[in-house]
Structure 1
Amino acid sequence: MKGIVLALLLGIAQGDDTLVVLNKGRLRGERVDLDFGEYYYAYRGVPYAKPPVKELRFKDPVEFDYWGIIDAVEDGHICPQFDIGQGQPVGDENCLTLNVYTPKLDSKKRAVMVYFHGGSFVMGGGSSLYFGPETLIEKDVVVVTFNYRLGPMGFLTTADKAASGNQGVKDQIMALKWVKDNIDRFGGNPEKITLFGEDSGAASITIMAMSPLAQGLFSGAIAMSGNALCDQFIQSNPEEAALELASRLECDTESGETILRCLNKLTQQEIIKISQDMFMFWSFPRWFAPSVDGVVLPDKPENLLASGKFAKVPFMVGQTKDEGAAFYRLTINAFNNGRYDDNFVDNKLPRMLPVLSDFNSKLYPMTRLIRKKYFTNVDMEVEEEFRPRYINFLTDLLFSRCTDRFTSILTKYSVPAYEYSFDYRGQYSVVNLQGEQVDMGVAHGDDVQYVFQHIWGQDLEMSSSDSKFSKNVYTTLLTNFAKTSVPTPTIDEFISVSWPPVSPTLHNVMRINNKLKLETDFNKERRRFWSETIPDLFKASGKKAKSEL
């Protein structure tokens, strides 16, 4: 009798060892068998909100009404987005689902890791096809991935709040509430939930820390290559994006209500296709992204952080060594017709800065400072000399300056902040898979392949050295943090260096490679350029609000 009661408390129905009883409803998943008799349980395509269709399109998410038994054995649809490879819209609006992976269905209360996918808020999803959890599961943690609305379907904002904006962020919060309420049924600990994500997923995690609606839903965070202080992850004028989209779709723009009535008559494919045409090049400018709405995000991220209005949970914060490599060819193609020439910096940078960042004044003086900092003693007629310096510039413009600023603010409030630079260069890099012939280092997104399996698809097998690094170093650091809030609680053959948090007096950065290396004052002069030199340029005018060419 006691055994039956225990089974029911754990949510496991007799006769089917994959059946889980939730607070509301029941799920049937599957057991995934691995080598050497190992296995884990997978629950895919679990709805956490009602499909945002018809009258729910562009609206806040609504909790899903469970009934009967749901077969959770297949991934849910990805949310509507434009597939560049296919050259057409893909996905389905019925997409608000999540996946749960657990080593065992028991009462152990394992640490939980919830992954926020990247994709610049316009693409991506949590599918098991690309985010295989096996390496993490081996570390005895529960893993959750999920979908949230993207592009105009997830971030449409009108001035009259007919579309209130941040729908995608509200989806994220509802997914976290589902995890908090139900993860104990999967052997997870609802009091030990760590958020981790890359690119826009990382930015979303930092927004979770600042949003009053997400307080108490997690206990730690890992921001990989992004945060809400990075210009490209916040839309400062979302109403303009709504007007631009509506105009291109020949909708009446008299009010938000008229815009919504028009958009609701159109298919998701029509909306996504036209929104894709709004980009100058892939995802830039960032028309559809989180914005200050007074509810989800009460104020600008900089203001919320500076005033201490954020969750004081431990953070891992970092980026890849050569983030900018992923944007090298994109910017050359978009601003110079795919050709490099020795006048690129002087002639194109003033046009690029307002597209890639919020800088839109003092563009020529800023360009001269950038040239002096990054391109002194460089033969600008030789692309091989120009390329690595330009990648450094893009890395710092898009990521390093906001990573440094974010970590500094956390430290000011005595929040444990473990900063890193991901330096490991394995067999595959996204830029080479996209056609580049030269080695550009460790590009934006290259680190994710060492966290999940099948990032590049089922056909590319990981080398033995890459697999060793993934299992023994990188995922060990991540799961250590999820379990203990410290990435190096113990020292061993592979984790051979203790990793202290950043302090007000020492800017410790862990260089993550085959062998770990702790570096003090990492890239000090490059960081100082963005924290002191560039702000000094704007002190005379006070702020970079109005164009001043």
Structure 2
Amino acid sequence: MKRLQISLIFLIIGSSFGEDMIVKTSKGPIMGLREDSSSNGYFYSFKGIRYAMPPVEDLRFKAPTELEPWTETVEAVEDGHICPQYDIANSIPLGDEDCLFLNVYTPKIDSKKRAVMVHIHGGAFILGGGVSHLFGPDYLMENDIVLVNFNYRLGALGFLTTKDTMETANNGIKDQIMALKWVKENIDKFGGDPNKVTIIGEDAGAASATILSMSPAAQGLFQGVIALSGNALCDQFIQNNPDEAAKELAARLECSSTDGKDIIECISRKTQQDIVEKSNSMMMFYTFPRWFAPNVDGDILPDRPENLLSNGQFSKVPIVLGQTKNGGAFYYRLTINSFNNGGYDDNFIDHKLPRLLPVMTNYNSKLYPITRSIRKRYFVNVDMENEDEFRPRYIEFLTDMLFTKCTDEFARAIANHSVPTYEYLFDYRGQYSIVNFQGEQVDMGVVHGDEMQYVFHNIWGEDFSMSPADLKFTKNIFTPLLSSFAKTSVPTLPTIDDINVSWSPRAPNKNRILKISNKLEMNEDYKKDILKFWNEDIQNILKSKKKLGKKGKDEL
């Protein structure tokens, strides 16, 4: 944010829009803009608002620090820096450690108190940012929602810790909590209701939202959760061995000590670029969990998520959660190319899959019996050298392993505590899919991340405009559905065309899922047999293998 003279502010605002957009936050006044929306309306934007002190120099690897107040009006018309990360496409580091900024968008600034949606961006805890060109507010503005996007620290700069330095753990999540505290304290000044806040995220953002629901430090900061394609029970989002990650990064940065405090001190002296580049050199994009991701620290995350859920130690606020129908397609080409040189044959399932499973799941012991069961479940009578036969079965396998299993597990766990739990399956295939931007030409279905284009405007960029059918689905079905939940804590289906469905919450022993597509329909037995396979059959194999292992008879 840049300081402007008040006269210049009024000149710009007066000549452009005929009114000033100065809001007095708890720390000082800021000036935003009135912007035209894609539907010929308008909204007010405030971009690049600091919500914490820059986490630089002595504040690196520290919890976010409260802002100092200011008196002069500060311009809030441009996105702040994104947090440091590695641009995989161009092989360069991006961002700046001075990155703890948020954006606020509001339909109007008046006495009305509107429902608030606080969006937590995804990106595997290593990529992304809450910036305007990725997450345009237009569709939510039309639904009279106040939207907040924000950045949080990523990768090693957000999640580096050791068993001896748990005070450095989960700084990325601590940033999220600080942003929510800012919302609680200030959002009423932007036409929002601080007591009607819903946190919404996809992928790592969805995992973050569910972690926040289990964090004592975030209690009372929100009243609803929307978790799109991810949660804290999915294997890819919790790092169980942060010590190993810290020591590996230390070695690559030529920090020779194995003492946790010495490691943190040594890495804190390295440049941002070195930390980002060496962290990236540790990565395979589909490696789960990430080297640097949320971990159990006894404070922000007091225990393993499954234990907290089982014991009822979480905020019992209403939740919407679900997945895309073909989410695993996001990892299709990545895994095939890396583990089998792009080939499709029996060698991949029988010999490469046992080595892939420990990379993508918490299955980390002798894995051939699991692989044989997977073959019987997913690949019977499949010509493994015919991609048209292999691809849909392999995508289904990835989807169930990475998303179906953990989504059902999380929904079942919270519903057992009588929490209003609305589960969905997103099955609308629009003009564009995220895999199209990975170079795929074939239709892989509804992929992980595809649903975001129907919440945020121009997520693919200005050159990729929405088709009329996609725009109709966005404005008539999906965005109103999520907005109604933010407003009332009950997702209300629009009464248009032939839609006449009631979205029933999940019962403790009843698997109720809303299929979201051109038509909406409830399903009470979605993948019942598949869930039994992962929750019972595979678990029985793991239990039996542990017994064999104790006798020294286990196999690779």
Letter of the aligned partner of 1:477 in structure 2? L
Q: Residue 45 of structure 2 aligns with which residue?
A: 42
Q: Residue 447 of structure 1 aligns with which residue?
A: 451
Report the Cα offset of residue 66 of structure 1: 2.7
**TM-score normalised by the chain length of structure 2:** 0.93
- Establish whether residue 512 from structure 1 lines up as the match of residue 528 from structure 2: no
Distance in 2, Cα, partners of 1:36 & 1:525: 45
Distance in 2, Cα, partners of 1:250 & 1:336: 33
Q: Residue 84 of structure 1 aligns with which residue?
A: 88
Contact 1:112 1:189 in 2 (8 A): yes
Letter of the aligned partner of 1:83 in structure 2? D
- Establish whether residue 349 from structure 1 lines up as the match of residue 350 from structure 2: no
Q: Residue 485 of structure 1 aligns with which residue?
A: 489
Cα deviations across residues 506-542 of structure 1 (Å, max 9, x unaligned)?
2111110011111111111111111111111123356
Q: Residue 4 of structure 1 aligns with which residue?
A: none
Give unpaired runs (5+ residues) of structure 2: 1-17
How many residues are treated as equivalent by the alignment?
535
1:465-504 equivalent positions in 2, closer than 5 A: 465-488=469-492, 491-493=495-497, 495-504=499-508
**Root-mean-square deviation over aligned CA pairs:** 1.8
Cα deviations across residues 249-271 of structure 1 (Å, max 9, x unaligned)?
11122323322332222211111
Report the Cα offset of residue 141 of structure 1: 0.6
Three-state SS of the structure 2 residue aligned to 1:403 is helix
Q: Residue 377 of structure 1 aligns with which residue?
A: 381
Cα deviations across residues 339-389 of structure 1 (Å, max 9, x unaligned)?
332321111110001100110123110001111111112122212111101
Report the Cα offset of residue 163 of structure 1: 5.6
Contact 1:360 1:545 in 2 (8 A): no
Three-state SS of the structure 2 residue aligned to 1:534 is helix
Report the Cα offset of residue 504 of structure 1: 2.5
Letter of the aligned partner of 1:42 in structure 2? S
1:183-332 equivalent positions in 2, closer than 5 A: 183-281=187-285, 284=288, 286-332=290-336
CA shift in 2, pair 1:274/1:163, >3 Å: farther
Give unpaired runs (5+ residues) of structure 1: 1-14
CA shift in 2, pair 1:219/1:237, >3 Å: same
Contact 2:245 2:291 in 1 (8 A): yes
Q: Residue 11 of structure 1 aligns with which residue?
A: none
CA shift in 2, pair 1:294/1:36, >3 Å: closer
Three-state SS of the structure 1 residue aligned to 2:193 is strand
Distance in 1, Cα, partners of 2:38 & 2:424: 33
CA shift in 2, pair 1:544/1:79, >3 Å: farther
Distance in 2, Cα, partners of 1:36 & 1:415: 36
Report the Cα offset of residue 286 of structure 1: 1.1
Contact 1:135 1:471 in 2 (8 A): yes
Q: Residue 21 of structure 1 aligns with which residue?
A: 24
Three-state SS of the structure 2 residue aligned to 1:448 is helix
Sequence identity percentage: 61
CA shift in 2, pair 1:494/1:477, >3 Å: farther
Distance in 2, Cα, partners of 1:54 & 1:537: 50
Contact 1:113 1:142 in 2 (8 A): yes
Q: Residue 392 of structure 2 aligns with which residue?
A: 388
Distance in 1, Cα, partners of 2:111 & 2:547: 55
Letter of the aligned partner of 1:446 in structure 2? D
Three-state SS of the structure 2 residue aligned to 1:190 is strand
CA shift in 2, pair 1:548/1:114, >3 Å: farther
Q: Which of 45, 57, 61 in structure 2 is aligned with 1:58? A: 61
Deviates more, 1:422-431 or 1:517-526: 517-526
Distance in 2, Cα, partners of 1:548 & 1:220: 46
1:65-80 equivalent positions in 2, closer than 5 A: 65-67=68-70, 68-80=72-84
Three-state SS of the structure 1 residue aligned to 2:168 is coil
Q: Residue 361 of structure 1 aligns with which residue?
A: 365
- Establish whether residue 148 from structure 1 lines up as the match of residue 148 from structure 2: no
Q: Residue 425 of structure 2 aligns with which residue?
A: 421
Three-state SS of the structure 1 residue aligned to 2:185 is helix
Three-state SS of the structure 2 residue aligned to 1:343 is helix
Distance in 1, Cα, partners of 2:379 & 2:102: 46
